[in-house]
Amino acid sequence: MSDSLLVDHKKAVFRRRLLVALQYTVAILVTLIILFPIFWMLISSVKSSEELLAPVPTFWPKEWHFENYLNVLKKAPFGLYYFNTIVSTAGIMALQLGIGIFAAYGFAKGDFKGKNVLFLVVLGALMIPIQVTFVPIYVMCARMQWINTFWALIIPNAVSAYFIFMLRQTFMSVDNSYLEAAKVDGMGRIGIIFRILCPMCKPTLLTVTIITFIDGWNSYFWPKMVTTNESRRTIAIGVAMLRNTFAGMQTMNNHEIMAGAVIGVLPIIVVFVVLQKYLLTGFSKAAMK
């Protein structure tokens, strides 16, 4: 009796170990697949043009051509691009936070007529892509003499419907009794927002703020339209410009394009690695509503 139990137990242990091993294998495989494009970008960026086009690709560069980076940096003022990107992204973050937190509060905890209808206005804005509406916006910015200034990069992005939506979902999860208690203590609206709601929803707040930062950093279409000279071009445009066609001909400088891509992506990867734990917590809150 006890023997067979032992065998059963051993079998179970073995099976569990096998499953764990299987889980590890598949997970590692998936991770490698996801990692590959980033690896390939890095590797391609230090190869020579000839090695890149060789019929048999090499998984490790034969020679390291770090001068690809120098060539790219010589082609365009990437330092200026970084500066423009940082300033405009910071501006967008500040405004989205400032305006978005109040709006999220109003929609989550406020009490006024037409709240739901007005919230639909916010939701509706999620559905309009900039590629469709940018001409009227461009004309507005041009009228305000904003082209090639930070204003044009920042102001049209000052409010994000997504930001408000996410934050509202989280604010709603805070129980009203906290707010009532604060009111009884004589706390005003601003106090409630910044001393109760925001601290309680810090994870989501951090998440959406980081996402705003990353989106601002990565945005391409609108900055491309409103910058007609180098002075305010951002990093994403700089990278894309490396890859332009001329007279219907693709340029064959993939090594430099990849080097440019690395230059553009690196700060995001750093931000991600440092802040990734905050990137997650906030999402889960909003998603479970």
Partner 1 sequence: MKKVLAIVLAAALALTTLAGCSGGSTGTAPASSSSTALTGEDGGAPTADQFEVTEPIEIEWWHAQESQYAETIDKVIADFEAQNPNIKVNAIYQGSYTELNEKLIAAQAAGNTLPALVVANTPYVAEYGASGLCEVLDPYIEATGFEIDDFGEGLVASTQYDGQQVALPFLISTQIMFYNKTMADEEGIKLPETWDEMDAFMEAASKDGRYATVFPGWDQWYFEPYYLNRGVKLVNDDQVSTDLDSDLAIETAQKLKEWCDKGYAYWAYGTDASSIMRQNFIDGKTFSVMHTTSLYNTYVDNCDFEVGMHYYPGDVTRDSEVGGCVLLIPAKNSQEVKNAGWKLLSYLCSKEVNMIWASESGYMPTRNSVLQTEEGEAFLAEKPAFKAVFDNLDNINPRIQHPAWSSFANIWKETMAKSILENGDIAADMKNAVTEMNEVLSDA
Partner 2 sequence: MKTTAPANTSVSKPMAAEIPFNKPSKLKRMEQFKDLLCVIPALIFLVIFTYYPIVDLFRISFTDWNLIKDTYTYVGAKNWIWLFQGSGWDTFLQSLKVTALYTLGELTITLVGGILLALLFNRISKPFSAMRAIVFMPKYIAVSTSAIVFLWILNGESGILNYVLNKLGFESVAWTTSEKTALLSVLMLTAWRVVGYAMMIYLSAIRGISQDYYEAASLDGANGFQQFWRITVPLLSPTTLFLFVTTFIASMKVFQSVDVMTEGGPYGSTQVMVHWIYELAFKDFRVDRAAVVSCVFFIILVTFTAATLKWSNKSVNYDS
Nearer to partner 2 by C-beta: 45 or 232?
Answer: 45
Determine, following the binding rule CB under 8 A, whether residue 164 of this chain makes contact with partner 2.
yes
Compute the distance between CA of residue 30 and CA of residue 27 in angstroms, rounded to an integer. 5
Q: Which residue from 97, 182, 218, 278 is in contact with partner 2, where contact means CB under 8 A? A: 218
234, 85 contact by CB (below 8 A): yes
Partner whose binding site includes residue 249, from partner 2, partner 1, none (CB under 5 to 8 Å by kind): partner 1
93, 216 contact by CB (below 8 A): yes
Determine, following the binding rule CB under 8 A, whether residue 18 of this chain makes contact with partner 2.
no
Partner whose binding site includes residue 245, from partner 1, partner 2, none (CB under 5 to 8 Å by kind): partner 1
Q: Which residue from 76, 89, 254, 259 is in contact with partner 2, where contact means CB under 8 A? A: 254
Nearer to partner 2 by C-beta: 232 or 253?
Answer: 253
Q: Which of helix, strand or coil describes residue 246?
A: strand
Tally Cβ neighbours within 10 Å of residue 275.
16
Going residue by residue from 42 to 71, which x/- string records binding to partner 2, judged by CB under 8 A?
A: --x-------xxxxxx--------------
Distances (CA, A) of 183 to 39, 104, 111, 178, 191: 54, 19, 15, 9, 9
Compute the distance between CA of residue 164 and CA of residue 118 in angstroms, rounded to an integer. 12
Compute the distance between CA of residue 224 and CA of residue 213 in angstroms, rounded to an integer. 18
Tally Cβ neighbours within 10 Å of residue 76.
19
Determine, following the binding rule CB under 8 A, whether residue 276 of this chain makes contact with partner 2.
yes
Q: Which residue from 136, 244, 246, 247 is in contact with partner 2, where contact means CB under 8 A? A: 136
Partner whose binding site includes residue 246, from partner 2, partner 1, none (CB under 5 to 8 Å by kind): partner 1
Binding site for partner 1 (CB under 8 A): 53, 75, 99, 102, 134-136, 138-145, 147, 188-190, 224-225, 228-230, 240-241, 244-252
The token duo for 263 is: 């230059």
Determine, following the binding rule CB under 8 A, whether residue 216 of this chain makes contact with partner 2.
no
Looking at this protein, which amino acid is placed at residue 113? K
Compute the distance between CA of residue 93 and CA of residue 166 in angstroms, rounded to an integer. 15
Q: Which residue from 87, 97, 147, 158 is in contact with partner 2, where contact means CB under 8 A? A: 158
Q: Which is it for the CA torsion 197, 202, 204, 209, positive or negative?
A: positive
- Longest Cα pair distance anywhere in the chain, in angstroms? 89
Determine, following the binding rule CB under 8 A, whether residue 175 of this chain makes contact with partner 2.
yes
Partner whose binding site includes residue 62, from partner 1, partner 2, none (CB under 5 to 8 Å by kind): none
Partner whose binding site includes residue 117, from partner 1, partner 2, none (CB under 5 to 8 Å by kind): none
Partner whose binding site includes residue 113, from partner 1, partner 2, none (CB under 5 to 8 Å by kind): partner 2
Q: Report angle CA 215, 146, 81 to the nearest 5 degrees.
A: 45
Q: Which residue from 116, 185, 244, 249 is in contact with partner 2, where contact means CB under 8 A? A: 116
